Amino acid sequence: MPTAVSGHELDLTSDAIDEVNVLKGRLWDEDAQFDEAKDKSQFRNYESACDRVKNFYKEQHEKQTVEFNIRARVNFKKTTRARMGVWEAMEMLNTLIDESDPDTSLSQIEHLLQTAEAIRRDGKPEWMQVAGLVHDLGKLLLLFGSEGQWDVVGVHVNVTNLWSLVVGCQFSDKNIYPETFAANPDCHDEVYSTKYGIYEPHCGLDNVMLSWGHDEVSFPVNGRDRTCLNAFQYLYHVFKDQSTLPEEALAMIRYHSFYPWHREGAYMHLTNEKDERILAAVRAFNPYDLYSKSDAPCDPAELRPYYEGLIAKFFPPLINCIAL
């Protein structure tokens, strides 16, 4: 299990990646109201954040191979699972940071609550508030056998908003820092380096392997079912099978870190009609995830009764969740 320092380093990296995403992107949902008066200039200068974040992406891009992704998914499924409530999982997530460190201004549970509160202030439906509340719970993979932050932060994926990516076909030039894929051996594979790789045209994202980070997907390749586990993909399947959240909420959780797709328009040759339908939901969620982090801190004790009431509407008291 990682030390407190690992959690603190994760939080610092998460902050830096979020700031880069804010400065690099734009709002997709024109109806979002919560941040209209917010001064975006308060976020760190993009160039000053680049070196730290680029090194992090470089490691991820070099190591996220098909071989690694298959091995990680097989190993992960061998573990036993924990049963806990959603709020308990949120509290466990909060152990990932060193709360005594003055450089860490926002805890993990505060980010979840800020996201949910921003959605709530805009009068969005309860299911979307819950999606905001739980969207990063896949970060618990850092406690359960990841090889380093680079493989957890991947889809979700997210443990932060590090961009998720597709493995098993040519890496898109719409990925952030695309030049850092040069040392990835899949770039030189005669199949994985092609446009479609192991996939069929418009096979759908359900059938595509996203970089290992925080989700689980079973997808057919060449007539065989293979298990794809990614923290956000894993989280998606946990919630799909054990909640009453609608399809739009599940899409927000599953793909919120898949920036090459929902922000840059990459991998459209692999998407199908279902993906086109849920794309609007993923884009609508994005500003709440990115911009709410600059809001005033939330008081978990004060907000807990309200959100536990919402959790009870969509989840059973205990869920089979992150592996131990």
Mean per-residue pLDDT over the chain, rounded: 74
Is the pLDDT reported for residue 190 higher than 50? yes
- What is the mean predicted confidence (pLDDT) over 257-265? 90
Q: pLDDT at position 156, please?
A: 30
CB 175 within 8 A of CB 163: yes
Q: Among 145-159, 201-215, 273-287, where is mean pLDDT lowest?
A: 145-159
Which of 8-17, 246-255, 256-265 is predicted least confidently? 8-17
Q: What is the pTM of this model?
A: 0.75
pLDDT band, residue 214 (cuts 50/70/90): very low
Which pLDDT belongs to residue 324? 39
Least confident stretch, 132-141, 211-220, 231-240 = 211-220
Q: Quick one: pLDDT at residue 84?
A: 87
Residue 269 in this model has a pLDDT that exceeds 60: yes
* pLDDT at 57 (0 to 100): 79
Based on C-alpha coordinates, what's the Rg of the chain?
18
231/210 Cα distance (integer angstroms)? 10
**DSSP secondary structure code for residue 171 in this structure:** P
Percent of the chain with pLDDT over 70: 62
Top pLDDT among 165 and 7 is at 165
Q: For residues 309 and 296, give the distance between their C-alpha atoms in angstroms, rounded to a whole number.
A: 23
Whole-Å CA distances, 79 to 70, 76, 145: 15, 6, 10
Tokens of 155: 């889809």
Structure confidence by residue, pLDDT tens digits, 58-67: 888 998 899 9
pLDDT band at 257 (very low <50, low <70, confident <90, very high): confident
More confident residue, 145 or 224: 145
Collapsed DSSP state (helix, strand, coil) of residue 226:
strand
